[in-house]
Amino acid sequence: MPQPPLSWNQQGNDPFASARAELARRIAAERAQPPPEIGGSALDEALAEVADLRPLPQVAQRILALDEGTFSAHELAAIISTDQALTAKLLRLANSAYYGFARRITTARDAVVLLGYRSVRGAALTSCLMQTAQSPGNLDYDGFWQFSIATGILSEVLARTEGAHQDEAFTAGVLHQIGLLALDQGRPEQLGRALALREQSGIAMHEAERQVLGFTSAELGGALALHWNFPESLAGAVRDHAQSLDTLPDTKSLTASVLRARMFVRAYGLPDGVTRASDPVDPPEEWDRPPLSVALKQSGGMTKVMEQVEALVGSLG
């Protein structure tokens, strides 16, 4: 009876021997590795904590999901009207002395029509973020919101002047410090240590945050913005607002507009909720020459900007 053929192993010429040996080596190496940490990086852990502690209100998520190109005043007003507190705040804003309409505004739809989509959208999102901030910890909240809203208004001035990012400029400026707000609400003790380190050592705030936390408030804000499904450009402006303007790849980006607006507001002397008020200094030169100087003047100058800031803080806070 003929004998069965020898197997490859018996013949000593198994064509897959080297592949099997390599697979066995990899499996052994993987088993020798410690298991990955649950929860990921320090930034991921902080994001999970903050998002759970202060979720973005549903009405804000629905407003962010609207496409300006297809929205209707009725649709935006219908979303706002589902939140009675938000509706009351927007009506208070619309009827404030700052706008001075001849007749009283009584519906969310009228507010959208008269104030405009961008203004109402930005104000609604601002109000939603304001309501998530409860017991103040390390921040001067009045200064924080004044600085943020002033940055938003000037970002919008830049956007109108340059014809870019007009849909998101105000919102990006107002919300660019949400990471700092999230830290003060979610990890106030660690933020306090970072502030103390900055005060004692004189290093920049983002460097102190990285030493204490392992990440910066700007990075946390950007991650939070993505978690909340903010548009990528808006999340990028939040994440990168602490960078230097000359390090940005695009000096006409939404991020650059926020940085340029921040520089002007700082020159004006407004505190940002972390730093103290300072004496005004000469603003960046671009704001002293056309077209920005003309655009700012047409907006009423910083006097009018600050009146709008006060109206928003007073009505939405």
The DSSP result for 125-145, as a single string, is HHHHHHHH--S--SS-HHHHH
Chain mean position to CA 98:
27
| pLDDT over 80 (residue 15) | no
% of the chain beyond a pLDDT of 70: 83
Residue type, 171: T
pLDDT band (50, 70, 90) for residue 68? low
Q: Which of 85, 81, 83 is nearest to 112 (CA)?
A: 81
pLDDT tens for each residue of 232-246: 999 999 999 988 888
pTM summary value: 0.81
Mean pLDDT computed over every residue of the chain: 83
Q: SS3 helix, strand, coil % of the chain, rounded to 5?
A: 65, 0, 35
pLDDT of residue 160: 92
**According to the model, what pLDDT value does residue 9 have?**
43
Q: Fill in the amino acid letter for 76.
A: L
pLDDT digits (tens, 9 = 90+) for 147-186: 999 999 999 999 999 999 988 899 999 999 999 999 998 8
Quote the pLDDT of residue 37: 36
Per residue in 263-315, pLDDT tens? Answer: 999 999 998 888 877 777 888 899 999 999 999 999 999 999 999 999 999 99
% pLDDT > 90, the chain? 49
* Per-residue pLDDT tens digits for 181-193: 999 988 999 999 9
Does residue 252 register a pLDDT over 90?
A: no
Q: Identify the residue whose tokens are 């940005």.
A: 248
Q: Which residue has the tokens 């919101």?
A: 145
Contact (CB, 8 A) for 220 and 43: yes
| Cα 55 from Cα 159, distance rounded (Å) | 29
pLDDT-based confidence at 36, cuts 50/70/90? very low
Domain range list for the chain = 56-121, 133-317
**CATH number corresponding to 133-317:** 1.10.3210.10
For residue 201, give both structure tokens: 């050592």
**What gap in Å lies between CA 173 and CA 14, rounded to an integer?**
66
